[in-house]
């Protein structure tokens, strides 16, 4: 699954497996229209989390986070995504 973040919006993209319902996202601030460094930290859930795309002018300041879980079945994830 990929999380696509732009401003205060987040879109989910299911790449394989069953579609996952949209989760809950809380922003303390919007992802700015600047080239910032985005980090993603998994607080709970299986598999791995990594930043696939950093925001830049060329991608309209969009960050993409990947959640990879090779196990079957649904799982709840908690992530802390920060930028600076």
Query: Between residues 75 and 47, which one has the greater pLDDT?
Result: 47
How is residue 41 written in tokens? 């930290």
What is the per-residue pLDDT for 20? 67
User: Which residue ranges make up each domain of the chain?
Assistant: 2-83
Do 44 and 75 contact (CB within 8 A), yes or no?
A: no
CA distances from 7 to 11, 25, 33, 45 (A): 11, 12, 8, 25
Q: What Rg do the C-alpha atoms of the chain give, in angstroms?
A: 13
pLDDT (tens digit per residue) in 29-57: 999 999 999 999 999 999 999 999 999 99
Closest CA to 79 of 48, 37, 36, 54: 48
pLDDT for res 74: 75
Question: How high does pLDDT run on average in the chain?
Answer: 90
């Amino acid at each position: 699954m990929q999380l696509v973040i732009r401003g205060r919006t987040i879109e989910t993209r299911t790449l394989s497996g069953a579609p996952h319902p949209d989760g809950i996202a809380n922003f303390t601030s919007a992802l700015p229209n600047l080239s910032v460094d985005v980090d993603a930290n998994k607080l709970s859930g299986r598999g791995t989390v990594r930043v696939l795309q950093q925001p830049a002018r060329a991608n309209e300041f969009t960050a993409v986070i990947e959640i990879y879980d090779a196990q079957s079945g649904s799982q709840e994830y908690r992530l802390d995504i920060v930028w600076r």
